[in-house]
Amino acid sequence: MDIDVVVVGLGCTGLPMVVAAARAGLKVVGVDGSEARVAEILAGETGFGRATVSEHEFSALLAGPLRLRTGPVPQSHVHLLCVPSRDLPNAVDMVTDSLRDGDLVIVQSTCPPGMMDDVVIPRFTRRTDARIHLVYSPVRVDPGRKQDAVVPRVIAGATPDCLSAGMRFLRELGEQPVPVGSIRTAELAKVFENTFRLVNISLANELAALCRESDVDIAELLDAVSTKPYGFVRHDPGPGAGGDCVPVCAEFFASAARRRGIPARTVEAAIAVNDTMPTNVVRHLSLRGQRVIVAGVAYKPGVADVRRSAGVRILEELRAETEAGYHDPHVPNLRLSDGTELRSRPIEPGVADLVLVVTKHPGMDVGGFEAAVVDCSTGIPSFVEVRDA
């Protein structure tokens, strides 16, 4: 078939784009380098964006305009690159052989400022003679949370014609593109959005520690200050922000500042606070000799992503001093940094002395666990009253 769109990378940003293009009636091929990833999607597993579409609709799309595959990238009028920034050079190499004059390439990866100008554009120039329309437009997604409204997205083009082509395509998908004057502006906009979140999450964690020592209820305090209708955006404390976006963007910000000789003390302090949160959680507990289950090892509720997860780090620290496993319905298997392979365990009577709730997935019945329960999901360990069986 004549293909309208190819999406390279089928993670939490690529898979929703595949679905959006297919919903718009376009003929779409989604390509991922991992055969296991493609198999997971086809099997209906919900991680990394699969939950954005119902099983019935996804089956209908596969029977119609949508194909998923590994292997070579086919020719198409539009290519969307939806891979982590570290994999972006490889994604460029994957698509260059299929490019023709007039094709549109939209890079959706979250890039450190300057990566498009310094790495991506020169790589395209070296590897293809095709006169393409190159666009940078990172998506704004919140994995695990349903987005009912269209979220505007920043977009920039290598030339004005590139920008126009990119905006036409995104509007065809029902998107709301917000144009800016340069690709570097778009890169830094994405980086700052997520750095803003990390700084404020870290501030909320420091506030939670102060509340604990001041005998103040952090939830009540945040509810009170959230009534201010201006100048305040609520961020809740937690065991440490994870994932492959928020903490990574803060590091991109700090690194870009260092390269230019500019202080970024606020951002660097926020990174340090976030990095120490899992250790601080464990430090508040006396667990030696106890059998412990960590409930929830994904980096946030409702997802299967364990990248930079506080739950995984807490589990690894616990295993250095006591017997510890984990329970997470979204993460059936887990490989630790030392290569240890673990499987999710059901929380049944007699399997653990203590359950540490780190990531509270929707529907997780914390009060129904058959063990002593400590809720660490706010970053401040607190015992939970467990119901009698």
Q: What is the DSSP string of 319-367?
A: HTTSEEEEE-TT-SEEE-TTS-EEE-----TTS-SEEEE-S--TT--GG
pLDDT confidence of residue 147: 64
How open is the CA angle 213-217-222, to the nearest 5 degrees? 115
Closest CA to 29 of 59, 64, 56: 64
Alpha helices in the chain (DSSP H): 14-23, 35-42, 55-63, 88-96, 115, 121-127, 160-172, 183-214, 218-225, 246-259, 265-283, 310-319
Q: What percent of the chain is predicted at pLDDT more than 70? A: 93
Closest CA to 245 of 32, 17, 48: 48
48 Cβ neighbours under 8 A, 6+ residues apart? 10, 11, 12, 15, 37, 143, 303, 304, 305
Q: How far apart are CA 373 and CA 371, in angstroms?
A: 6
Q: How far apart are CA 317 and CA 16, in angstroms?
A: 35
Return the bridge partners of 295, or none: 327, 357
Residue 34 has a CB neighbour count (10 Å cut-off) of 12
pLDDT confidence of residue 289: 81
3-state secondary structure 63-104: HCCEEEECCCCCCCCEEEECCCHHHHHHHHHHHHCCCCCCCE
- Average pLDDT over every residue of 341-347: 90
3-state secondary structure of 47: coil
Q: Is 48 left (phi over 0), alpha (psi -120 to 50) or beta?
A: left
- pLDDT of 161 strictly over 60: yes
Token pair for 297: 């090892």
Mean of the per-residue pLDDT values for the chain? 90
3-state secondary structure of 28: strand
- 48/83: higher pLDDT: 83
Strands 354-357 and 78-81: unpaired
Are the CB atoms for 50 and 11 separated by under 8 Å?
no
Per residue in 165-218, pLDDT (tens digit) is 999 999 999 999 999 999 999 999 999 999 999 999 999 999 999 999 999 999
Q: How far apart are CA 58 and CA 317, in angstroms?
A: 40
Are the CB atoms for 255 and 264 separated by under 8 Å?
no
- Average pLDDT over every residue of 9-22: 90
- Average pLDDT over every residue of 15-28: 91
pLDDT confidence of residue 62: 85
- pLDDT of 389 strictly over 50: no
- pLDDT of 148 strictly over 70: no
| Phi, psi angle pair for 118, to nearest 5° | -90, -25
pTM of the complete model beyond 0.95: no
Residue keyed to tokens 């404020």? 200
Tell me the pLDDT band of 286, cut-offs 50, 70 and 90. confident
Strands 323-327 and 66-69: unpaired
Least confident of 226-235, 265-274, 281-290, 321-330: 281-290
